[in-house]
């Protein structure tokens, strides 16, 4: 399907009308629970997924305030109408007989809420981006890339890419694959596999021939005989030449792929934290995009009623002068929490000032004042041993002048935050969001974040993985890191700061309500009557598997607003992919 980047608003209005007509004429047959894009489209009503579904015979951890377990959840018109133990009682909430899924005793939990990632970038990646988050050897890499090309019928000549979200530390060989190994996996497709923001990268024979072409606008890329491309500008040239060919159709396909991957991992809500503004030069890395256009393919997919996960948009700003001109225009022309249940705006972050000013100073303070006056949420990126201090001190100043206590300002990542500063932030109504990005390449003994200290401090805290460049999206890899303190090499790097599996699950569901804020807070993160019907069914027992196997968990059935958006066939027997 070809999407046009025009008039998303008008098409949303038109489509919600069509969806109403379709709902009347489409029988509620078995196909409606099978997770195909056609079913997803039919489940859209008034711009959001709103379907009926009854889940029975599960081990359902509701994550309500009392952490109740139930066996039955009923979802009607996208919202939860029953949680308990009687399928007969649940059926009384429906007019006819709702599609019913027997979970066969499997563990189910609320759809995960990811409070900090970069899924918008992932959807805009060039090529057929293929997450390597669950590859533990070069053979796994080969298998994952080959499966991507065949499963998704990548046309011959179409680039199969992996851009960020993994590290060679996670492979038993502790290196990237070679050109020959990529040729064996992808004989008919050019390949580009790149670590982090800027490489190093590797390509295969078809990719090498392409990147070495003298006709490229970027100039030929320097590539070793074994296919390796140096980190930095050479990787940047390869990325840029792929990006220069991206069409809107490539991007909407990438968005649907990113959504499908998220649904397979069980993350049903994503708070996106923006991109570094692309300059269109080889200095751009995987974290760069056009902050003013990168949401268009996402809106197109939602407009076509094919959105399968929920997106919340933060606007990243990096002004470098105290007039904060770009942020000022944003605050004049955008609205916080504007949109609907599937996609809406969030706050300003994870940067509010440029890289020289992000940790405080006059531009940072000017941006914070502007956001406070306009009543927006703010989230700032904090990494070093000092930046959280200057940021929290600036927040205190703005709180005293303007007041931020109800706005839920967040300091993110915080690998080195101290008890004193946690208390100061808590006092002005702030919170922290914890990322496990150190898993891939961090080193000990205190790589952070100090999960234990933070949880024990009682400050509002949630987790977000900070995928997809420096870290994986995979929430189960994050669980492994938070629970064990071990990195991808297996080294202990966060001793004494581990948290329990229950604490981690709480921070990835109910606790992240606070970080979303706005209209989402009473609707997401738990399975309770009145909340949105987002449920995931796991392939194994989260509380029972060995630590090493935590990383391999995934969802066998993902439900958003009562609609099945991912289904491996393990529970309903209708094995279908989108
Ligand atoms: C629930 O699932 C278990 C395990 O598959 C099965 O033995 C049992 O028959 C199911 N119970 C009901 C009521 O469907
Ligand atoms: C973009 O789409 C075109 C046409 O569908 C295709 O030929 C090309 O390979 C795609 N490029 C990327 C980088 O996905
Ligand atoms: C490929 O060759 C480059 C230099 O020619 C070297 O630095 C790199 O380690 C090699 N990569 C592999 C995977 O062997
Ligand atoms: C500030 O940002 C503008 C716009 O991005 C840029 O042109 C200018 O060079 C920057 N100035 C400094 C001092 O970095
Ligand atoms: C959590 O922190 C990350 C940065 O680590 C940030 O991008 C994200 O927006 C934060 N989430 C919230 C809800 O503040």
The pLDDT tens digits of the residues spanning 281-327 come to: 999 999 999 999 999 999 999 999 999 999 999 999 999 999 999 99
The predicted model scores a pTM of 0.91
> Exposed, middle or buried: residue 405 (CB in 10 Å: 0-12, 13-18, 19+)?
exposed
By DSSP bridging, strand 201-203 and strand 228-229 are antiparallel
Tell me, yes or no, whether 526 lies in a domain. no
Q: Which residue has the higher pLDDT, 507 or 359?
A: 507
Tell me, yes or no, whether 118 lies in a domain. no
Q: Is the pLDDT of residue 32 over 70?
A: no
pLDDT of residue 464: 87
**Domain CATH number, residue 64:** 2.30.40.10
pLDDT band at 38 (very low <50, low <70, confident <90, very high): confident
Atom of ligand 3 nearest to the CA of 175: 13
Q: Is the pLDDT of residue 74 over 50?
A: yes
Cα of 253 from ligand 2 centre, angstroms: 10
Average pLDDT for 476-501: 96
pLDDT of residue 330: 96
Sheet holding 191-194, edge to edge: 128-129, 160-163, 191-194, 201-203, 228-229
pLDDT band at 23 (very low <50, low <70, confident <90, very high): very low
Residues whose CB falls within 8 Å of the CB of residue 181, separated by 6 or more in sequence, listed in order: 138, 141, 142
Tell me, yes or no, whether 371 lies in a domain. yes
Average pLDDT for 227-236: 98
pLDDT of residue 433: 65
Count of CB atoms situated within 10 Å of the CB of 410 = 30
Q: Which residue has the tokens 């851009």?
A: 163
Tell me, yes or no, whether 398 lies in a domain. yes
Residues whose CB falls within 8 Å of the CB of residue 70, separated by 6 or more in sequence, listed in order: 58, 60, 62, 83, 84, 85, 527
Residues 229 and 287 in one domain: no
Residues 469 and 549 in one domain: no
Tell me, yes or no, whether 250 lies in a domain. no
**Ligand 1 mutation target, pool 54, 55, 56, 57, most atoms within 8 A of CB:** 57
Query: What residue's CA is closest to ligand 2, atom 7?
Result: 158
**Ligand 3 mutation target, pool 167, 173, 193, 228, most atoms within 8 A of CB:** 228
| Residues lining ligand 1, Cβ inside 6 A | 57, 102, 104-105
Average pLDDT for 536-549: 97
Number of domains in the chain: 3
Average pLDDT for 320-348: 96
pLDDT of residue 12: 33
Average pLDDT for 77-101: 95
Average pLDDT, the chain: 91
Tell me, yes or no, whether 320 lies in a domain. yes
In terms of residues, how long is the chain?
A: 578
Cα of 250 from ligand 2 centre, angstroms: 6
Residues 85 and 170 in one domain: no
Residues whose CB falls within 8 Å of the CB of residue 474, separated by 6 or more in sequence, listed in order: 131, 133, 134, 265, 465, 467, 551
Residues 402 and 483 in one domain: yes
Residue span of the structural domain in which 135 resides: 125-243
Cα of 358 from ligand 4 centre, angstroms: 15
Query: What residue's CA is closest to ligand 3, atom 12?
Result: 178
pLDDT of residue 577: 56
pLDDT of residue 207: 98
Domain final position from 520, 540, 557: 520
Residues 371 and 340 in one domain: yes
Average pLDDT for 260-264: 97
Residues 294 and 215 in one domain: no
**Ligand 1 mutation target, pool 56, 104, 573, most atoms within 8 A of CB:** 104
Residues 446 and 378 in one domain: yes
**Domain CATH number, residue 215:** 3.10.310.70
Residues 350 and 471 in one domain: yes
pLDDT of residue 462: 87
Residues 430 and 558 in one domain: no
Domain final position from 210, 243, 276: 243
Atom of ligand 5 nearest to the CA of 381: 4
Q: Is 247 in the pocket of ligand 2 (CB under 6 A)?
A: yes
pLDDT above 70: percentage of residues in the chain: 94
Residues 350 and 229 in one domain: no
Residues 348 and 457 in one domain: yes
Tell me, yes or no, whether 120 lies in a domain. no
Atom of ligand 2 nearest to the CA of 161: 13
Q: Is the pLDDT of residue 193 over 50?
A: yes
Q: Is the pLDDT of residue 31 over 50?
A: no
Q: Which ligand is nearest to the CA of 101?
A: 1
Q: Is 464 in the pocket of ligand 5 (CB under 6 A)?
A: yes
Domain final position from 187, 213, 243: 243
**Domain CATH number, residue 279:** 3.20.20.140
Tell me, yes or no, whether 578 lies in a domain. no
Residues 372 and 503 in one domain: yes
């Amino acid at each position: 399907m070809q999407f046009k980047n025009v008039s998303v608003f008008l098409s949303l209005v038109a489509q919600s009308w069509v969806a109403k007509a379709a709902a009347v004429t489409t029988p509620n047959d078995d196909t409606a629970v099978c997770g195909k894009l056609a079913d997803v489209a039919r489940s859209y009503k008034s711009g959001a997924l709103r379907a009926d579904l009854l889940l029975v015979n599960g081990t359902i951890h509701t994550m309500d305030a009392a952490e109740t377990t139930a066996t039955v959840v009923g979802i009607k018109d996208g919202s939860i109408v029953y949680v308990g133990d009687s399928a007969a009682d649940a059926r009384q909430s429906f007019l006819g007989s709702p599609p019913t899924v027997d979970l066969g005793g499997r563990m189910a939990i609320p759809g995960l809420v990811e409070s900090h990632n970069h899924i918008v970038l992932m959807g805009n990646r060039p090529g057929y981006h293929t997450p390597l988050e669950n590859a533990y050897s070069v053979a796994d890499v080969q298998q994952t890339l080959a499966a991507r090309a065949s499963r998704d019928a990548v046309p011959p000549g179409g680039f199969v890419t992996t851009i960020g979200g993994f590290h060679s530390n996670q492979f038993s060989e502790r290196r990237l694959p070679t050109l020959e190994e990529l040729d064996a996996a992808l004989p008919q497709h050019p390949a580009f596999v790149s670590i982090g923001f800027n490489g190093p990268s590797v390509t295969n024979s078809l990719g090498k021939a392409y990147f070495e072409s003298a006709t490229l606008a970027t100039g030929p890329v320097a590539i070793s005989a074994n296919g390796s491309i140096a980190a930095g500008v050479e990787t940047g040239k390869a990325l840029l030449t792929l990006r220069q060919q991206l069409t809107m159709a490539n991007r909407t396909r990438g968005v649907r792929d990113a959504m499908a991957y998220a649904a397979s991992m069980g993350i049903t809500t994503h708070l996106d934290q923006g991109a570094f503004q692309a300059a269109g030069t080889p200095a751009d890395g995987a974290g760069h995009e056009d902050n003013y256009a990168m949401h268009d393919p996402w809106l197109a997919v939602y407009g076509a009623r094919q959105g399968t996960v929920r997106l919340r948009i933060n606007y990243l700003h990096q002004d470098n002068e105290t007039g904060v001109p770009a942020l000022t225009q944003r605050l004049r022309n955008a609205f916080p929490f504007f949109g609907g249940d599937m996609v809406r705006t969030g706050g300003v972050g994870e940067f509010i000032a440029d890289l020289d000013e992000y940790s405080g100073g006059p531009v940072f303070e000017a941006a914070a004042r502007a956001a406070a006056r306009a009543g927006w949420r703010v989230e700032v990126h904090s990494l070093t041993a000092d930046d959280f201090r200057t940021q929290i001190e600036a927040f205190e100043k703005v709180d005293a002048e303007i007041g931020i206590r109800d706005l839920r300002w967040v300091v993110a990542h915080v690998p080195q935050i101290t008890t004193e500063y946690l208390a100061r932030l808590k006092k002005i109504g702030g919170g922290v969001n914890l990322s496990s990005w150190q898993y891939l390449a961090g080193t000990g003994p205190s790589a952070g974040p100090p999960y234990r200290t933070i949880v024990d401090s009682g400050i509002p805290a949630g987790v977000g993985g900070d995928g997809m460049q420096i870290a994986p999206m995979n929430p189960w890899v994050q669980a492994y890191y938070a629970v064990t303190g071990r990195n991808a090499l297996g080294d202990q790097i966060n001793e004494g700061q581990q948290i329990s599996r229950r604490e981690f699950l709480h921070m990835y569901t109910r606790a992240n309500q606070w970080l979303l804020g706005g209209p989402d807070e009473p609707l997401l993160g738990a399975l309770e009557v009145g909340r949105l019907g987002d449920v995931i069914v796991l392939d194994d027992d989260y509380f029972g598997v060995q630590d090493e196997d935590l990383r391999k968990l995934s969802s066998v059935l993902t439900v958003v607003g009562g609609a099945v958006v991912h289904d491996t066939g393990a529970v309903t027997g209708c094995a279908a992919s989108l």
